[in-house]
A and B are shown apart, each in its own frame.
Chain A
Amino acid sequence: SQQGEEDPQALSIQEGENATMNCSYKTSINNLQWYRQNSGRGLVHLILIRSNEREKHSGRLRVTLDTSKKSSSLLITASRAADTASYFCATDPQGGSEKLVFGKGMKLTVNP
């Protein structure tokens, strides 16, 4: 069953701006992951945040997790044209048989 819902569905920004993508989910989770998919390619893991963590950084990426609101956000700072891709959140539900449940993805376009 679908778990994560990214918001917005599509975002277009200028190079250098920050991009924020949100993900909401429905059930309790063990962790939440963000993946990137470039056009015509496979998904690539970006960052994982555990349910007992509130914020995590990796380079220009900042992920937050609010388990009370069942939501997460991915912030990409100082965006580059190469960041143009679809971004997916994926949740590891507690007690679920499915290890990762992916959202529908969000298309980010960074204009040079």
Chain B
Amino acid sequence: DTAVSQTPKYLVTQMGNDKSIKCEQNLGHDTMYWYKQDSKKFLKIMFSYNNKELIINETVPNRFSPKSPDKAHLNLHINSLELGDSAVYFCASSQDYSGSGNTIYFGEGSWLTVV
């Protein structure tokens, strides 16, 4: 059973398009995240949701809009895609946000290539 699943795994799209990446976790966790990993492997948090509420919103262009219909899902919608958006996007979850020492469980990643 996949704990954190995200789709699609690979996405190739043209500049200017709008795309979405879906994420679901079956761990019963309260907190979900979106991370971006660039070509140099640097992993940067984008958003964090706790019980469907936005907790962290890093300096991310407002073309990126997360949506959490329930605490098991956190989708990422990207408008007007740009070449610089090409990266691997990881969805993740943790038991909750408040406790120190939470382990983060990652999905397998979505490879986005903008051409």
Contacts and interface: CB of A to CB of B under 8 A. Distances in A.
Interface of A: 2, 30-31, 33, 35, 37, 40-45, 48, 50, 86, 88, 90, 92, 97-102, 104-105
Interface of B: 4, 35, 40-45, 48, 56, 58, 90, 92, 94, 97, 100-109
Contacts of B105: 45
B56 A30 contact: no
A40 B111 CA distance: 9
Given A30-B101, A92-B101, A104 B109 contact: no
A104 B101 CA distance: 20
Given A98-B45, A98-B56, A42 B101 contact: no
A31 B101 contact: yes
Contact of A50 (B4, B35, B40, B101): B101
B56 A86 contact: no
B41 A99 contact: no
Contact of A97 (B40, B56, B106, B109): B56
Given A31-B100, A42-B90, A48-B101, A104 B42 contact: yes
Nearest to A86: B41
Contacts of B108: 41-42
A112 B14 CA distance: 41
Given A33-B103, A43-B106, A100-B104, A2 B42 contact: yes
A100 B104 CA distance: 9
Contact of B43 (A48, A50, A92, A102): A102
A100 B101 CA distance: 9
Contacts of B41: 37, 86, 104-105
Contacts of B90: 42-43
Contacts of B109: 40-42
A101 B103 CA distance: 13
